Structure 1
Amino acid sequence: MTDPAARPYRPIEDYALLGNCHGCALVARDGSIDWACLERFDADPLFSRLLDRTRGGFFAIQPEAPFETARIYLPGTTILETSFTTRDGIVVLRDFMVAPEAGRALPSLVRIVAGVSGSVAMRAVHRPLAGFAAAFGALSPVEGGVAAEGLPFLAASVPFALDENRAVARFTLAAQDQQVFALHATRAGAADSPAPGDLMEATRRAWAGWSAAAAYDGPDADALLRSALTLKALTYAPSGAIVAAATTSLPEEIGGVRNWDYRFCWIRDACLSFYVLKKFGMVAEAEAFVRFVGTLAERDEGGLKPLYAIAGESDLREHEVAHFEGWRASAPVRHGNEAAEQHQSDAYGQVLDLLHLYRSLGGTIPEAMREQAIRLADYAAAHWHETDAGLWEPRKPERHYLHAAIMNWVALDRAIRLFGERPDWCRERERIVARVNGEGIHPDGYYPQSIGGDDPDAALLIAPMVGFPVDEAAFARTVEVVIERLGHGPLVYRYRNDDGLPGHEGTFLICAFWLVDALAWLGREEEARTRFTALRALQNDVGLYAEEVAEDHTFLGNFPQAFSHLAFIHSALVLDLVAHGGREAVRGTYADRTLRETAARRVTRVAPEADPAPRR
């Protein structure tokens, strides 16, 4: 077997996600955990080889001899099962994370490896790193595991020995043999922990019970459930926030500088996630997110930032980890995201749309949130005509983006539906329509990225899906321009114009799904389904999507990406609606479509057996 410490970077699509609604880990096909933030998504990592193959930490469990692998998630769970087949036999590795629980000493991550047939020589290599430290700390193999000052304790059923800056264990597995490894906050906690097999069964039951609550009886049910499980795993249970992705600094271009930290909660992304979660029957998560947004709006007096840390913190100052080389030498590695200081006015429309959907489905808007929502609408009415940074966060001067104008229209439209007509809201709502459908239309008949510009932008594909009264001929022409100038087969670039950064990026998966939705809205159902089928085939072997896809179908960008998974679910449900109700069934707002889906009984809800993320 190749030395695990010397192996090259693995493709992004090689990874699978482990999660417990607090933190996460990424496991490669070869059994190496190369990324893990155990306590919370945006914490410093314990394993970081994903971003530097020599300086980063990892935890690998593999056969000594050459092997082939196959892997699956246990049905309805985030428990990963990897099978290693060698010339000497077969072993199975099961990896899972355990949700914290008040009053009990539980490991955060457990790995159970068992023999299936033959006799297989195995090796475990543990090389943790404190965050992005410049050097590895001292490891101490002790009875029952490996200790390291200031780092979690690795409890193990086999002894480890030091080998330079790593701890190595060698052991042999025959059929029915089993060895266990678990990461605990402290060595003392490891001594009081429940049996690993009991923890795995409790974890399995919790996830399976949750999945039963999210039951869906339409096409692609298993694939949609996997995306729903991914969104659930990217939810931070203590606050209700939903992170954009599990990672930082996976590049949009190999060797380029478009590497961002996505381990935070974008209000825009999370509102769209709420819509999908609510439609898919995930009531508790949707309620928790509404409370999270309400708290932010009340605290910040309506002036919402585009993104927050997962407990609501707003200081996300961006800095570079200069001594890490980045995945496949794609530097810089970034911690934090300065986009938190940008003005992105489309977020106001997302929040008001969320509240409209929430109330339409029977929710009650608290008085404090009502006041903040009115303040957001007042702000939109007063400032919609001003420039902003845009949803794609270019590092260029602000402009008059059409997407921002449309989402300000959404803010006013939903405020009117929620709180009644007010003269300034009604007046400005109509002015936005007049501007977008007037000077906003390019001389060639399509909606461009910004007023007076020529460049297409895939963000405009969402206009009719939020209920904006588009000029249908202009929208149909916009779809054609997007296909012609931003498309590559079933894939879609979000834009191709200068954004103030060197280099370029891959195609953006959510935009490809937005094109599916737009085609369905236009009545081009067969074309929409063909594109959806092609996008469905781009998932990796365990059903996960990254942020972007290169033209050769390799993954780019942070992974797994909430945007991509919520878009996959949304497009599937849109096509389901079209199949049962025709083009008219997808007209109107998110709330309109959700109510139609509920009435058609396409989404069913069963009482959950348990929840994999109990609150403290």
Structure 2
Amino acid sequence: MIEPDNEDLYRPIADYAIIGDTRTAALIASNGSLDWFCCPRFDSPAVFCSMLDAKKGGRFRIGPGERYTCSRAYVDATNVLTMTYSVASGQYRLTDFMPIAAAPVLHSDDPRYEHTCILRRVEGLSGEAELEIEFRPTFDFGRAETRMEVLPEGALARTGSAFLLLRSPVPLLEDGSSSACARFRIKAGERLDFYLDYSPDSADRSEYALDADRHLSETLSYWREWADRCTYRGPYRDLVQRSALVLKLLTHGPSGAIIAAPTTSLPEEVGGERNWDYRYTWIRDSSLILQALMSTGYHCESHAFFDWLESLCIKCCGDLQIMYTVDGNRELPEELLMHLDGYRGSRPVRIGNAAADQKQLDIYGELLDAVYFCYEAMRPPRPEFWEVLRYLADQAAARWREPDEGIWEVRGERQHYLYSKLQCWVALDRAIRLAEQGQLAADLKRWRSTRDDIREAILTEGYDVELGAFTQAFGIKALDASALTIPLVGFLPASDPRVCSTVAQIRKQLSSQGLVYRYLNEDGLPGGEAAFALCNFWLVDNLVLAGQVEEAQQIFERIISHGNDLRLFSEEFDPHSGELLGNYPQGFTHLALIRSAVNLTKATGKPVPERGRSSGR
């Protein structure tokens, strides 16, 4: 890719790569700028956030000081990033990663837990090149005062007791009170290692061992070993494996929780206000992600998540919230950061998420479906966890008639969303199967009766004969792509005429340039959004189940063409420009890609994933 003479202030979302250590993650643009980093964990305040304000957000750039071309890739099946730069006088490579040892993951009671390190290695490949360094942290999303001190070994940025220490082999100069900079040259055969080390206690800054070769070797070994456990052997294996690696980056190793995405407030529409914080653990997203990982041989993540979930549910006595922080905290107050301009002027920037207080009845179904999906390869639910699951099934049975905010977390009037009713049916259906298979105590007669009642209501109140489709909610004519899940959960076969006509109507009324939107009716918020990637993969799955495999594969190819050169995907695609929009990389999209690839493989008769157990973490 060739850079323009005058770069825009904001990079395209697709221009970013992700690195991480299963505690937090960083996003790095192709110009060598680290523009997003929350530490010590995903939902901590950002230290660099120039993605959300190019002037006030802070960055750590090691990049060329002249016109260049760049090619980039992950080192085979790992999350170690390399970017190779060519300038007029030479070529060099930048390697970025967050060290992660093969040893067991650190837990919160380990004194090393809150240390986070990013290692950036520059290697001269040919000739000689000039590079620039800009080190400008902005603690707490730019709200905290940052003090910069240039040291013989680099630079130390502080706020309160927390610090970021940049160990630099290149002398740095102060650039104002809160940043440091440098220019240097790299020749063929030379190698320079830059360490960025975060700690909440500035007295502890000598703790981290400076052994770049060991850190790189251990990190490569860790990711290669993990990737090798992928049991999927069908078409698109590299793509599936990369999506699995992304989902692994979204897991929080110390707790077992899984986040939806590592960013906040990347817009669904440039300049719009549909900007949300996704750095938390949604019960829905996590349940679907672990099913995708299980389908490709990664069982340990499921064990870890269910351990987290069991502890959470037992602690809260089954009173399940739709999302939590990675350590299980229920409090996610939403706050507007009005001092930040937002990505390309998309305001407001939000941290926290008020949707945590919403009623979304679908989570009962997604959770019980995940338990059922994983049941065969995992241990049976512990007695106390089965009590919680039974309680959740009872909640689905008792509350399915209530209106709610639905899967899309609409911030308007509650409605009787079809998807929520469908997932209450799923909750009871899977709970019945679990109880029958495990001979677990349950009120099966009542559950079966309620399951039948929900089914009847969906078929009579959820299907509009005049429209020829299942609708978004009972009593309205608006379409919603979530109706595409009806055959995916086994409610009706894909060949059912009502399913076929629903698919046809969604493709006709909710599509643009061949890409599907979630819905197009008013939802109480100004502005719009792009096509939702997850819904497009649902369409693929529907066509596969209906036997239209060739067309399903064509649509799958169209969807994946919107990924960037690193095979990373955001939440949404602009059907007209192809631009990636929304938080990034997005767990929903990557799990759906995996599921559709698995479904296509099964339908074409190609080798399918093995269902054996994998070894430990």
Range of TM-score over shorter length:
over 0.9
Map of 1:294 onto structure 2: 310
Q: Give the distance between the partners of 2:612 and 2:30, measured in 1 at CA.
A: 34
Question: Quick one: which of 411, 432, 448 aligns to 2:471?
Answer: 448
In structure 2, give the amino acid aligned to 1:145.
G
Tell me, which stretches of 5 or more residues in structure 2 are unaligned?
437-442
* Residues 492 and 499, structure 2, Cα contact 8 Å, conserved in 1: no
Q: Give the distance between the partners of 1:49 and 1:605, measured in 2 at CA.
A: 44
Q: Give the distance between the partners of 2:34 and 2:5, measured in 1 at CA.
A: 11
Map of 1:120 onto structure 2: 129
Instruction: Give the Å deviation of 1:300.
Output: 2.1
Q: Give the distance between the partners of 2:5 and 2:42, measured in 1 at CA.
A: 25
Aligned residues: 592
**Does residue 398 of structure 2 align to residue 389 of structure 1?**
no
* Residues 212 and 606, structure 1, Cα contact 8 Å, conserved in 2: no
Instruction: Give the Å deviation of 1:295.
Output: 1.9
Cα RMSD over matched residues?
Answer: 2.1
| Segment drifting more, 61-70 vs 130-139 | 130-139
Instruction: Give the Å deviation of 1:151.
Output: 2.2
Question: Quick one: which of 584, 592, 596 aligns to 1:567?
Answer: 592
Question: Quick one: which of 144, 153, 158 aligns to 2:165?
Answer: 153
> For residues 102-127 of structure 1, what are the alpha-carbon distances to aligned partners after superposition, in whole Å with 9 as ceiling and x for unaligned?
57697511100110000111111100
Q: Give the distance between the partners of 2:343 and 2:96, measured in 1 at CA.
A: 23
Map of 2:439 onto structure 1: none
Q: Give the distance between the partners of 1:558 and 1:273, measured in 2 at CA.
A: 16
**Does residue 550 of structure 2 align to residue 526 of structure 1?**
yes
Question: Quick one: which of 477, 480, 492 aligns to 1:469?
Answer: 492
Tell me, which stretches of 5 or more residues in structure 1 are unaligned?
582-599, 612-616
Q: Give the distance between the partners of 2:488 and 2:183, measured in 1 at CA.
A: 56
Q: Give the distance between the partners of 2:127 and 2:269, measured in 1 at CA.
A: 44
**Does residue 393 of structure 2 align to residue 377 of structure 1?**
yes
Instruction: Give the Å deviation of 1:38.
Output: 2.8
In structure 2, give the amino acid aligned to 1:161.
L
Map of 2:280 onto structure 1: 264
Question: Quick one: which of 440, 444, 453 aligns to 1:431?
Answer: 453
Map of 2:440 onto structure 1: none
**Does residue 563 of structure 2 align to residue 539 of structure 1?**
yes
* Residues 405 and 432, structure 1, Cα contact 8 Å, conserved in 2: yes
Matches of residues 194-593 of structure 1 in structure 2 within 5 Å? Answer: 194-420=210-436, 422-444=444-466, 445-469=468-492, 472-551=496-575, 552-580=577-605
Runs of 4+ with deviation above 4 angstroms: 1-7, 100-107, 604-608
Q: Call closer, same or farther: CA 1:605–1:140 in 2, change over 3 Å.
A: farther
> For residues 506-563 of structure 1, what are the alpha-carbon distances to aligned partners after superposition, in whole Å with 9 as ceiling and x for unaligned?
1100000001001111221111111001112111010100001112110110000000
In structure 1, give the amino acid aligned to 2:153.
G
Map of 1:130 onto structure 2: 139
Instruction: Give the Å deviation of 1:443.
Output: 2.2
* Residues 299 and 614, structure 2, Cα contact 8 Å, conserved in 1: no
> For residues 326-378 of structure 1, what are the alpha-carbon distances to aligned partners after superposition, in whole Å with 9 as ceiling and x for unaligned?
00000000010000000000000111111111222242210111000110111
Q: Give the distance between the partners of 2:203 and 2:387, measured in 1 at CA.
A: 49
Q: Give the distance between the partners of 1:191 and 1:358, measured in 2 at CA.
A: 41
Instruction: Give the Å deviation of 1:188.
Output: 5.1
**Does residue 195 of structure 2 align to residue 182 of structure 1?**
yes
In structure 2, give the amino acid aligned to 1:345.
L
SS in 2 for 1:241: coil
**Does residue 119 of structure 2 align to residue 97 of structure 1?**
no
Q: Call closer, same or farther: CA 1:190–1:156 in 2, change over 3 Å.
A: farther
> For residues 20-72 of structure 1, what are the alpha-carbon distances to aligned partners after superposition, in whole Å with 9 as ceiling and x for unaligned?
10000000010000000131100001100000001011000112221111100
* Residues 155 and 190, structure 1, Cα contact 8 Å, conserved in 2: no
Instruction: Give the Å deviation of 1:303.
Output: 2.1
In structure 1, give the amino acid aligned to 2:455.
V
Q: Give the distance between the partners of 2:111 and 2:256, measured in 1 at CA.
A: 22
Map of 2:148 onto structure 1: 139
Map of 1:48 onto structure 2: 49
Q: Give the distance between the partners of 1:492 and 1:340, measured in 2 at CA.
A: 27
Q: Give the distance between the partners of 1:532 and 1:554, measured in 2 at CA.
A: 17
Q: Call closer, same or farther: CA 1:606–1:119 in 2, change over 3 Å.
A: farther
Q: Give the distance between the partners of 1:19 and 1:410, measured in 2 at CA.
A: 35
In structure 2, give the amino acid aligned to 1:263.
R
* Residues 212 and 607, structure 1, Cα contact 8 Å, conserved in 2: no
SS in 1 for 2:48: coil
Map of 1:596 onto structure 2: none
SS in 2 for 1:514: helix
Q: Call closer, same or farther: CA 1:133–1:402 in 2, change over 3 Å.
A: same
* Residues 39 and 116, structure 2, Cα contact 8 Å, conserved in 1: no
* Residues 20 and 249, structure 2, Cα contact 8 Å, conserved in 1: yes
- TM-score, normalised on structure 1? 0.93
| Segment drifting more, 269-278 vs 105-114 | 105-114
* Residues 92 and 116, structure 1, Cα contact 8 Å, conserved in 2: yes
Q: Call closer, same or farther: CA 1:198–1:446 in 2, change over 3 Å.
A: same
* Residues 418 and 473, structure 2, Cα contact 8 Å, conserved in 1: yes
Q: Give the distance between the partners of 1:313 and 1:61, measured in 2 at CA.
A: 36
SS in 2 for 1:460: helix
In structure 1, give the amino acid aligned to 2:339.
H
Percent identical pairs in the alignment equals 37
* Residues 145 and 153, structure 1, Cα contact 8 Å, conserved in 2: yes
Q: Call closer, same or farther: CA 1:31–1:364 in 2, change over 3 Å.
A: same
Instruction: Give the Å deviation of 1:401.
Output: 0.8
